[in-house]
Amino acid sequence: MITPPKTIPEYLDQLRAALAGADPALLQDALYDAEEYLRAELAEHPDVEEATMLASIAGSYGAPEEVADIYRVQETTVNKAMRTPPPAPRSSAFGRFFGVAADPHTYGALCYMLLAFPVGLFYFIWATLGFSLSTVSVFFIFTIPFAVLFMGTIYALSLMEGRIVETLLGERMPRRPMYPAAQSGFWAGIKAIMIDPRTWASLLYMVLMLPMGIVYFVFAVTGLILSVALVSAPFAWLFGAPVTYSMDGENFVPPGLAMPLLTVVGVFVLFATLHLARGVGKFHAQFAKHLLVKSA
Tens of pLDDT along 21-79?
A: 888 999 988 988 888 888 888 888 778 788 888 888 777 788 888 889 999 988 888 77
Give the Cα separation of 267 and 98 in Å (integer): 10
Tens of pLDDT along 248-268?
A: 555 555 555 566 787 888 899
- Is the confidence at residue 136, as pLDDT, over 60? yes
- Is the confidence at residue 209, as pLDDT, over 90? yes
Q: DSSP assignment, residue 7?
A: S
In the chain, DSSP assigns E strands to: 245-247, 250-252
- What's the rounded mean pLDDT across residues 223-236? 84
> CB-based contacts of 30: which residues, under 8 Å, 6+ apart?
15, 19, 22, 67, 68, 71
- What's the rounded mean pLDDT across residues 177-190? 59
3-class secondary structure, 255 = coil
Rg (CA), the chain: 26
The lowest-confidence range among 31-35, 109-113, 160-164, 237-241 is 237-241
Q: Which residue has the higher pLDDT, 58 or 12?
A: 12
- How much is the pLDDT for 286? 94
- Determine phi and psi for 251, rounding to 5 degrees: -80, 140
- Is the confidence at residue 126, as pLDDT, over 90? yes
> Do the Cβ atoms of 181 and 189 come closer than 8 Å?
yes
Write down the H helix ranges in the chain: 8-18, 24-44, 50-57, 64-82, 93-98, 104-135, 144-169, 186-195, 197-238, 259-292
Q: Which residue has the higher pLDDT, 148 or 225?
A: 225
| Residue from 283, 153, 272, 291 nearest 224 by CA | 272
pTM over 0.85: no
> Do the Cβ atoms of 30 and 38 come closer than 8 Å?
no
Give the Cα separation of 179 and 36 in Å (integer): 8
- How much is the pLDDT for 251? 57
- How much is the pLDDT for 182? 45
DSSP string, 48-100: S-HHHHHHHHTTTT--HHHHHHHHHHHHHHHHHHHSPPPPPP--SHHHHHHGG
- Is the confidence at residue 242, as pLDDT, over 60? no
Average pLDDT, the chain: 82
- Is the confidence at residue 110, as pLDDT, over 90? yes
Give the Cα separation of 145 and 140 in Å (integer): 11
3-class secondary structure, 251 = strand
Residues in the chain: 296
- Is the confidence at residue 203, as pLDDT, over 60? yes
